[in-house]
């Protein structure tokens, strides 16, 4: 099976880096030993992601990104990444970088979860942040060190993803 990336954007956002996101996910999957994968990305509003968060995780609030690993059978990695455009817009304005860079960060974070990374402990969070930085740099995205939730994990250990 060949690789497939499906991206759905709500009416409130138009992104121009869809080819880059597909290239990024292919690179991430290949780096972790996956030649075949199916990943879907949904870019939704805070209200929409809040409903998903409530339904699947019993959290009654909006969040930046939610990911679902749908299976690793038959040598195919399958997953869904759901990101909040509203949250990304607010965060990108605070950080001072483009909305597309913030959305890319969320996609990276979600894909890392699908690939098996966790961020529940400080060590896991440090490893997650290292990988995020690696892929942001691979996509030539600068400024991540200014990001309040993606900087040094030790100073960020009280936040949640």
- What tokens does 101 get? 């860079």
- pLDDT-based confidence at residue 7 (cuts at 50, 70, 90): confident
Shortest CA distance to 136 belongs to which of 120, 155, 150, 122?
Answer: 150
What total of structural domains would you count in the chain? 1
Domain carrying residue 121: 4-146
User: Is the residue at 161 inside a domain?
Assistant: no
Average pLDDT, the chain: 86
Residue 144 to residue 137: CA distance in whole angstroms: 9
How much is the pLDDT for 72? Answer: 63
Does residue 12 carry a pLDDT above 70?
Answer: no
CATH code at 66? 3.40.390.30
User: Is the residue at 157 inside a domain?
Assistant: no
Task: Tell me the whole-structure pTM to 2 decimals.
Answer: 0.86
User: Is the residue at 121 inside a domain?
Assistant: yes
Per-residue pLDDT reduced to its tens digit, 58-69: 999 999 999 999
CA 55 from chain center: how many Å? Answer: 19
Residue 45 to residue 108: CA distance in whole angstroms: 19
DSSP three-state, residue 83:
strand
Per-residue pLDDT reduced to its tens digit, 67-94: 999 986 668 899 999 999 999 999 999 8
- pLDDT-based confidence at residue 16 (cuts at 50, 70, 90): low
User: Could you report how far apart the first and last alpha carbons of the chain are, in Å?
Assistant: 32
- pLDDT-based confidence at residue 17 (cuts at 50, 70, 90): low
DSSP three-state, residue 131:
helix
How much is the pLDDT for 152? Answer: 46
User: Is the residue at 160 inside a domain?
Assistant: no
- pLDDT-based confidence at residue 156 (cuts at 50, 70, 90): very low
Does residue 110 carry a pLDDT above 90?
Answer: yes
User: Is the residue at 97 inside a domain?
Assistant: yes
User: Is the residue at 43 inside a domain?
Assistant: yes
Residue 61 to residue 140: CA distance in whole angstroms: 32
- pLDDT-based confidence at residue 150 (cuts at 50, 70, 90): low
């Amino acid at each position: 099976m060949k690789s497939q990336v499906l991206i759905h954007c709500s009416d409130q956002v138009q992104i121009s880096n869809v080819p880059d996101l597909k290239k990024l996910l292919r690179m991430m999957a290949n780096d972790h030993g996956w030649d075949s994968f199916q990943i879907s990305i949904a870019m939704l509003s805070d209200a929409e992601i809040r409903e998903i968060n409530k339904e699947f995780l019993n959290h009654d609030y909006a969040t930046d990104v939610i990911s679902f690993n749908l299976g690793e059978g038959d040598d195919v990695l399958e997953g869904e990444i759901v990101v909040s455009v509203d949250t990304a817009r607010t965060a990108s304005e605070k950080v001072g970088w483009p909305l597309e860079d913030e959305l890319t960060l969320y996609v990276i974070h979600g894909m890392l979860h699908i690939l098996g990374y966790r961020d529940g402990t400080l060590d896991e969070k440090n490893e997650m942040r290292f990988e995020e930085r690696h892929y942001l740099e691979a996509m030539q995205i600068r400024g991540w060190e200014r990001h309040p939730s993606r900087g040094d994990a030790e100073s960020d250990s009280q936040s949640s993803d």
